[in-house]
């Protein structure tokens, strides 16, 4: 068992510098390009389109911002869903850091953005509501830094190094746990048996993956992506979980307990979309061979 832990630790340490560099770059992009104030575009007719495009940025801050704006009725439910579906959280960072998994990024982005836009505009059409910006809302500020972290008043070295370092340590810890669990399974049960069992469950993988994706924590995207990288689930099943995953944005909605029926409906829609995308992608993959 000792060599399993050592192997998992070494695999995680190989990813660490790439994860840290990626989070530092994200902080630089957010601060220097003022990506923390895109809600003017999100509130217009192009809301679902712009909201879905934010999924390219690998962090959950936009889902937090979108949820807050939705609570204040500054964006439509279609824009909210578009942001939630497109959000990738930690997935892209892990795929890029893994090297071999980077090939999955472009098709993943394409599917998530397309589905986000389609669902967003369809939801707005069904709801028959328009985004309205109340007077005075331009003075409100909704931070959208990684996972909702606020950086106002912090020194540069804290924002650009310490915060990314702490976030990297957190994600690395999740990856280490997953690597140890799979390593232990492969060691005690046998890799062939484990992989055969997982691959035999192709028909129910999207159902489970989408449930994992609904967990309002960055750990869910880490679990889904890392499981995909070790071959535990298919690309389509991974997509099912990531389309349902909205990071801490779901937690923002859950804080409003008075709107529990609305929250349940949003959870259900995200789950249904995730499962549908998962089965559709798996079907296409099987057809292609």
Long-range contacts: 283-289, Cβ < 8 Å, 24+? 283/236, 284/236, 285/234, 285/235, 285/236
Give the single-character DSSP code of 104. Answer: G
DSSP class of 236: H
> In whole angstroms, what is the distance from residue 28 CA to residue 50 CA?
21
Q: Are the C-beta atoms of residues 10 and 186 closer than 8 Å to each other? A: no
Sign, CA torsion 199/200/204/208? negative
Residue 75 gets the label, from left (phi > 0), alpha (psi -120 to 50) or beta, of: beta
Per-residue pLDDT in tens (0 to 9) along the chain, 289 residues: 777 788 778 877 877 887 788 678 767 766 655 444 545 566 678 889 988 887 777 666 678 888 888 888 888 999 999 999 998 877 888 888 887 788 988 999 999 999 999 999 999 998 865 544 444 444 444 444 444 455 555 777 777 788 888 878 887 887 788 778 877 877 777 767 666 766 667 788 999 999 988 988 777 888 899 889 888 899 999 999 999 988 778 888 888 888 889 999 999 999 999 999 999 999 998 888 6
CA–CA separation, 171 vs 167, rounded Å?
6
């Amino acid at each position: 068992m000792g060599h399993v832990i050592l192997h998992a630790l070494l695999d995680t340490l190989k990813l660490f510098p790439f994860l840290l560099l990626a989070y530092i770059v994200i902080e630089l992009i957010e601060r220097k390009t003022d990506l923390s104030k895109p809600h003017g575009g999100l509130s217009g007719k192009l809301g679902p389109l712009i909201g879905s495009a934010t999924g390219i940025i690998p962090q959950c801050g936009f889902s937090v911002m979108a949820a807050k704006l939705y609570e204040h009725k500054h964006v439509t439910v279609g824009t909210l869903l578009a942001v939630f579906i497109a959000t990738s959280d930690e997935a892209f960072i892990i795929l890029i850091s893994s090297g071999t998994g980077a090939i999955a990024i472009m098709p993943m982005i394409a599917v998530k953005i397309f589905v986000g836009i389609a669902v967003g505009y369809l939801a707005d059409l069904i709801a028959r509501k328009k985004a309205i910006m109340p007077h005075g809302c331009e003075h409100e500020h909704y931070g959208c830094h990684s996972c909702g972290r606020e950086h106002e008043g912090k020194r540069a070295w804290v924002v650009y190094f310490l915060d990314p370092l702490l976030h990297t340590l957190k994600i690395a810890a999740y990856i280490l746990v997953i690597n140890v669990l799979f390593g232990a399974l492969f060691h005690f049960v046998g890799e062939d048996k484990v992989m055969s069992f997982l691959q035999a469950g192709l028909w129910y993988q999207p159902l489970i993956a989408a449930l994992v994706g609904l967990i309002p924590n960055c750990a869910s995207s880490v679990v889904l992506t890392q499981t995909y990288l070790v071959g535990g689930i298919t690309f389509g099943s991974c997509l099912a979980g990531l389309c349902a995953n909205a990071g801490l944005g779901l937690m923002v909605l859950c804080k409003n307990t008075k709107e529990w029926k609305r929250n349940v409906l949003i959870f259900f829609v995200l789950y249904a979309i995730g499962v549908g995308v998962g089965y559709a992608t798996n079907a296409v993959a099987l057809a292609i061979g």
